[in-house]
Chain A
């Protein structure tokens, strides 16, 4: 699906397998990558962009990107639809939170167990993949969402009330404001995105794509599909768990209501809009949907105020109609997601004037 990204600029060719698999192929790309990374980490110092509000937005995007990266690996690359992702985020979040308040472990000691706890849950709910395919498997992930939420609600009542969690600390320095937390969030996101990209261009990644495209053929070629499907689930939920842990330590608050079915569905929407099977696509998708939602957030009250003659709640309703409409139009015109558009754009730029 992401084949259009393999248009290297003219004049670049590969004479070894290693060279062909490189993510960054030219010097220009190296410079741009490093420059954008530096820019990314410098944002808290840029006066126009560094208001608390925009930093909060960016951190939110970062954490969601981690969640969606995992999801894209499972759903986009491996083709197994997962509509229970936010439950796995929740598992990681509460594991981390509870370890923190009951045992006093700092974030750095909680994050890996949180990821592992989620991964275990992911493996459990991945087991049905040995028998079930496609939409039927998606149903078990929906079941995961509902069952895990119920377990949290009834067996750990504290999660229903919500509890405070310590912020991330190094020594005595606490990352408890968006300005400080931003670096942690970006660090994690960049590292995990890189890891994801790397994994997808190597053996397991290719296996995932093979399974997605035609799993019977893949099996015939000798790929152990159950093993790789399970691996995909584990990786996806590990990412979810780590993101969950980051989330609660950022909000310094863990609450059941932050992880609903609604969120799970939005994550799937984000990767679809961004482009399935593409790491860059994940990032685009998250940014686009977050921007869309912010639009409601900001314009909502204004709309409400200007239309008092409509029944109460109409303003927000109108917003939903507009946003849903825009999103539908978007999908009609670009069903393969933003990543595809981006690749087309890059290809056009590179192949100019032969862009057709």
Chain B
């Protein structure tokens, strides 16, 4: 009996030693860094948030698969993507942040939410940067937040007005003064979008009439009629997709021949999905990147091609969504930041601060494989590409209606 025990133990030990010393098991595991995501996966904006989340997640995991992670001169890291549901509530967002921080998150990403500003303080105290598909109000002033989408909600209508004014001046200033209108809902982002707008309008010397439609209305024709009577030559729609569909329907019913433009609160793709190709024919909108809804017959930059592949691989036959690009761009910015940082810092030392100093802050002329205009981050300006392009819906797809042009960069003063 004793012999047997001694024999089996020694065989076991030999086996263990062999296994442990074999080159396979001693291969250095690649360091994992944690990218966190706090989005509202339940709640009113869940659809959009989930698109952003899956975009960045799919892209970063694709990098893991295809190239084993992200590598720089000093080493290589793999990405571990962890997401939390903020339920569209600031308290939960902060809780999620606390949990992710406890797990060692080095960078976070999310998209367009009411709580992006509430988290700003957490990012600054914890020294963890945020790459976001949409800047909040206060966070556009923060040095730890990097945007890759629009230049702030207040610039949607401003950039649009500037575009129209340019075209109007080119056409020889017909009519003396440029008269435009906007139709708004009572959603929370609307007061922010029109913050201090009167001063801007006066400065530009144009005339802007605003109308508001009540929540849940099924008919926007009274308001559209008023805008028409006021002589508006173009109308901006400050609403999310459902409100836009109502406006489009009413406009069609009353044969309103004034061009309508959708604000970035909803992508043209969303409006097409909700309202159908027929209703949205001729509807204009803005994008800050090359959208998934772009007509497949038009040439696509490599980034868009990759996005389409990733979508097909991960979401199969589901209808492609534009906010997916938002997420992919965020993922790309993060990857680029990590890559640059890994040129200076070893993987073990890669934390939020190092990522910011050596990575994100040094991003110059990065265009996400052609998905957007080149992004450069300088201290005091982490807004993003700061370029916009207007598109129009044709037969259920979108095609460009204007060239790329710089956005306005008004920022609501931090209180």
Residues of B within 8 A of A161 (CB): 117, 137-138, 191-192, 195, 412, 415
Known: A56-B98, A251-B90, A301-B41. A160 touches B192 (CB 8 A): yes
Interface members, chain A 291-310 (any B CB < 8 Å): 293, 296-297, 300-301, 304, 308
- Asked if A164 contacts B114 (CB within 8 A), the reply is no
Question: Would you give the shortest CB distance from A307 to chain B, in whole angstroms?
Answer: 13
- Asked if B138 contacts A164 (CB within 8 A), the reply is yes
Residues of B within 8 A of A160 (CB): 188, 191-192
- Asked if A255 contacts B90 (CB within 8 A), the reply is yes
Known: A297-B87, A312-B47. A52 touches B117 (CB 8 A): no
Closest to A252 in B: B121
Residues of B within 8 A of A130 (CB): none
Alpha-carbon distance A3/B195, docked complex (angstroms): 56
Partner of A257, one of B82, B102, B114: B114
Question: Would you give the shortest CB distance from A287 to chain B, in whole angstroms?
Answer: 16
Residues of B within 8 A of A315 (CB): 41
Interface members, chain B 69-102 (any A CB < 8 Å): 82-85, 87-92, 94-96, 98-99, 101-102
Query: Is the C-beta of B271 less than 8 angstroms from some C-beta in chain A?
Result: no
Question: Would you give the shortest CB distance from A191 to chain B, in whole angstroms?
Answer: 23
Alpha-carbon distance A64/B318, docked complex (angstroms): 41
Partner of B41, one of A51, A53, A162, A300: A300
Residues of A within 8 A of B195 (CB): 157, 161
Query: Is the C-beta of A327 less than 8 angstroms from some C-beta in chain B?
Result: no
Query: Is the C-beta of B118 less than 8 angstroms from some C-beta in chain A?
Result: yes
Residues of B within 8 A of A256 (CB): 188
What 0/1 readout, one digit per residue, does chain B (296-309) give for beta carbons within 8 Å of chain A? 00000000000000
Which bucket holds chain A's interface residue count? 35 or more
Query: Is the C-beta of B198 less than 8 angstroms from some C-beta in chain A?
Result: no
- Asked if A153 contacts B415 (CB within 8 A), the reply is no
Interface members, chain B 51-70 (any A CB < 8 Å): 51, 54
Residues of A within 8 A of B47 (CB): 312-313
Which bucket holds chain B's interface residue count? 35 or more
- Asked if A51 contacts B138 (CB within 8 A), the reply is no
What 0/1 readout, one digit per residue, does chain A (227-263) give for beta carbons within 8 Å of chain B? 0000000000000000000000001110111100000
- Asked if A53 contacts B102 (CB within 8 A), the reply is yes
What 0/1 readout, one digit per residue, does chain A (52-64) give for beta carbons within 8 Å of chain B? 1100110010000
Partner of B415, one of A57, A60, A158, A312: A158
Partner of A52, one of B41, B42, B51, B98: B98
Residues of A within 8 A of B223 (CB): none
Interface members, chain B 11-63 (any A CB < 8 Å): 41-42, 46-47, 50-51, 54
Interface members, chain A 97-132 (any B CB < 8 Å): 101
Residues of A within 8 A of B138 (CB): 161-162, 164
Partner of A251, one of B51, B118, B188, B191: B118
Known: A52-B98, A316-B85. A257 touches B188 (CB 8 A): yes
Question: Would you give the shortest CB distance from A181 to chain B, in whole angstroms?
Answer: 12
Residues of B within 8 A of A164 (CB): 121, 138, 415
Query: Is the C-beta of B348 less than 8 angstroms from some C-beta in chain A?
Result: no
Alpha-carbon distance A300/B42, docked complex (angstroms): 9
Alpha-carbon distance A252/B138, docked complex (angstroms): 13
Query: Is the C-beta of A163 less than 8 angstroms from some C-beta in chain B?
Result: yes
User: Which of A301, A304, A308, A313 is most buried by chain B, counting CB atoms within 10 A of its CB?
Assistant: A301
Alpha-carbon distance A39/B33, docked complex (angstroms): 38
Query: Is the C-beta of B167 less than 8 angstroms from some C-beta in chain A?
Result: no
Known: A160-B192, A161-B192, A251-B90. A53 touches B99 (CB 8 A): yes
Alpha-carbon distance A163/B95, docked complex (angstroms): 19
Closest to B212 in A: A154
Query: Is the C-beta of B186 less than 8 angstroms from some C-beta in chain A?
Result: yes
- Asked if A316 contacts B41 (CB within 8 A), the reply is yes
Known: A101-B415, A312-B318, A316-B46. A153 touches B41 (CB 8 A): no
Closest to B113 in A: A257
Question: Would you give the shortest CB distance from A82 to chain B, in whole angstroms?
Answer: 21
Residues of A within 8 A of B117 (CB): 161-162, 253, 255
What 0/1 readout, one digit per residue, does chain B (166-205) give for beta carbons within 8 Å of chain A? 0000000000000000000010100110010000000000
Query: Is the C-beta of A47 less than 8 angstroms from some C-beta in chain B?
Result: no
Question: Would you give the shortest CB distance from B64 to chain A, in whole angstroms?
Answer: 15
Residues of A within 8 A of B137 (CB): 161-162
Partner of B89, one of A258, A304, A319: A258
Known: A255-B114, A301-B85. A316 touches B191 (CB 8 A): no
Known: A297-B84, A300-B85. A255 touches B42 (CB 8 A): no
Residues of A within 8 A of B84 (CB): 297, 301
Alpha-carbon distance A59/B314, docked complex (angstroms): 40
Known: A51-B102, A157-B191, A311-B318. A60 touches B114 (CB 8 A): no
- Asked if A255 contacts B118 (CB within 8 A), the reply is yes
Residues of A within 8 A of B42 (CB): 296, 300, 313, 316, 319-320
Residues of A within 8 A of B98 (CB): 52-53, 56, 178
A residues within 8 Å of B by Cβ?
51-53, 56-57, 60, 101, 153-154, 157-158, 160-164, 178, 251-253, 255-258, 293, 296-297, 300-301, 304, 308, 311-313, 315-316, 319-320
Apart from the given pairs A153-B188, A164-B415, A257-B188, 8 other A-B contacts in the complex at a CB distance below 8 Å? A52-B101, A161-B415, A251-B90, A255-B90, A296-B85, A313-B47, A316-B85, A319-B42
List 29 contacting pairs A-B, 8 Å CB cutoff, sorted by A.
A53-B102, A56-B94, A56-B95, A56-B98, A153-B186, A153-B191, A157-B192, A161-B137, A161-B192, A161-B195, A161-B415, A162-B117, A162-B138, A251-B91, A251-B118, A252-B121, A253-B118, A253-B121, A257-B89, A297-B84, A297-B92, A297-B95, A300-B85, A301-B84, A304-B41, A311-B318, A312-B318, A313-B41, A315-B41
Closest 10 interchain pairs by CB?
Answer: A316-B42, A257-B114, A157-B191, A253-B118, A163-B415, A300-B85, A52-B98, A301-B83, A160-B191, A53-B98
